[in-house]
Amino acid sequence: MAYSVPASSQSGYRGRFAPSPSGPLHNGSLIAAMASFLDARAHHGRWLLRIEDIDMPRVVPGADLAIMHQLRSMGMLWDEKPVWQSQRLPLYQAAFDQLTASGDTYGCACTRQELPSDGPYPGICRHGLPAGRQARAWRFRASQGVECFDDRWQGPQQQDVVKHAGDFIIKRADGLWAYQLVVVVDDGAQGITHIVRGADLLDSTARQRMLARHLGLDYPTVMHVPLLLDPEGRKLSKQNHAAAMDITRPLDTLNQAWQALGFEALVAQDVEAFWAAALERWANRYSQPQQTLGT
Ligand code: GLU
């Protein structure tokens, strides 16, 4: 039994949930799924599912289908055919070619061992490869200046890409497209207007805004929701072996995510009633008239 409000054709809102299929969803990933789902519904928009399987070595076979099953069991139905990044490689190549044609990329020979363990890329290959070296990865030539934007959850942000990341990788040494590039290309190609995702991606936002600008794409409005931490204060993640979310008790699982978003637990008889109540509360808090898309 799934709760789904007809997506109004009047609303220009297009949101998405973009899980990496490196395992099933856990309670932490459910928070991002829930917030993006509610926000799309509250704006009478569309909610898309994008399987981010670009990082092939980390993909677990069958995890995509498991994630879809989990979402369905929670009553979260997406509005359009899901897309898989692994099937969109020509799109990423085209974006890379466009950036390269405008001089925004360069080949980099540096190995991880040659670089400082943190801080921005020191620009070793920015003006050409050192003699006798070959390009392994490709970087985006970051532009100077502070990226200023409002995050609907975290408030006003100022991020300096040159200072924090420097020229960042868009094509990896193993030949795979980097997350920063593909996420921007996909959000643009899918006409995403609103990104709602976990706060661990807040500091990627400036890089993504910059890339979008260079590709001539509008960058969506962003909301970065809190992360669930384990007892040691680490982000719950598949790498830290977080347990898959419990779909046998959907109401408890949903209420747990809902409370992590700062709301009081809902008393609901079934999943449908849970979503109806949650939607009303979410809409009151996050879809005030000034935040809806004007037409
Ligand atoms: N695939 C990313 C993740 O699972 C999310 C990307 C995004 O929402 O921009 O962490």
Pocket of ligand 1 from Cβ distances under 6 Å: 18-20, 52, 183, 197, 201
Q: What is the pLDDT of residue 229?
A: 81
For the cut 70, the answer to whether the pLDDT of residue 6 exceeds it is no
The ligand 1 atom nearest the CA atom of 19? 4
The answer regarding whether domain 9-85+228-286 maps to CATH 3.40.50.620 reads: yes
In which band, very low, low, confident or very high, does the pLDDT at 5 lie, cut at 50, 70 and 90?
very low
The ligand 1 atom nearest the CA atom of 16? 8
Mean pLDDT of 7-12: 62
For the cut 50, the answer to whether the pLDDT of residue 4 exceeds it is no
- Each residue's pLDDT tens digit, 136-162: 999 999 999 999 999 999 999 999 999
Nearest alpha carbon to residue 258 among 38, 6, 42, 47: 38
CA–centroid distance, residue 2 to ligand 1 (Å): 24
For the cut 60, the answer to whether the pLDDT of residue 228 exceeds it is yes
The first and second tokens of residue 282, run together, are 């979410």
Backbone angles phi, psi at 18, to 5 degrees: -130, 65
The answer regarding whether domain 89-171 maps to CATH 3.30.1490.100 reads: no
> Residue 130: is it exposed, middle or buried by C-beta count within 10 angstroms (0-12/13-18/19+)?
exposed
> What rounded mean pLDDT belongs to the chain?
93
CA–centroid distance, residue 276 to ligand 1 (Å): 26
Report the alpha-carbon distance of residue 64 to residue 83 in Å, rounded: 11
Report the alpha-carbon distance of residue 219 to residue 287 in Å, rounded: 19
Global pTM reads 0.92
Select from 30, 183, 204 the residue to mutate for testing ligand 1; criterion: most ligand atoms less than 8 Å from CB. 183
For the cut 60, the answer to whether the pLDDT of residue 70 exceeds it is yes
For residue 225, what is the enclosing H or E element? Answer: strand 221-225
Q: At what angle do helices 179-189 and 205-214 cross, to 10 degrees?
A: 60
For the cut 80, the answer to whether the pLDDT of residue 237 exceeds it is no
The ligand 1 atom nearest the CA atom of 22? 4
Q: What is the pLDDT of residue 30?
A: 96
Contacts of residue 150, Cβ cutoff 8 Å, sequence gap at least 6: 156, 157
Q: Are 166 and 122 in contact (CB under 8 A)?
A: yes
CA–centroid distance, residue 197 to ligand 1 (Å): 7
Q: What is the pLDDT of residue 153?
A: 97
Q: How many CA atoms lie within 13 Å of 161's alpha carbon, on the beta-carbon side? A: 20
Nearest alpha carbon to residue 176 among 52, 261, 71: 52
- Each residue's pLDDT tens digit, 49-62: 999 999 999 999 99
Select from 30, 56, 201 the residue to mutate for testing ligand 1; criterion: most ligand atoms less than 8 Å from CB. 201
* Residue type at 111 in one-letter notation: T
For the cut 60, the answer to whether the pLDDT of residue 263 exceeds it is yes
Q: How many helices (H) and strands (E) does the chain have?
A: 8, 10
Q: What is the pLDDT of residue 235?
A: 78
Select from 39, 88, 179, 207 the residue to mutate for testing ligand 1; criterion: most ligand atoms less than 8 Å from CB. 179
| Residue whose tokens read 């006409």 | 191
- Report domain extents, the chain: 9-85+228-286, 89-171
Q: What is the pLDDT of residue 7?
A: 47
For ligand 1, atom 7, the nearest C-alpha belongs to 18
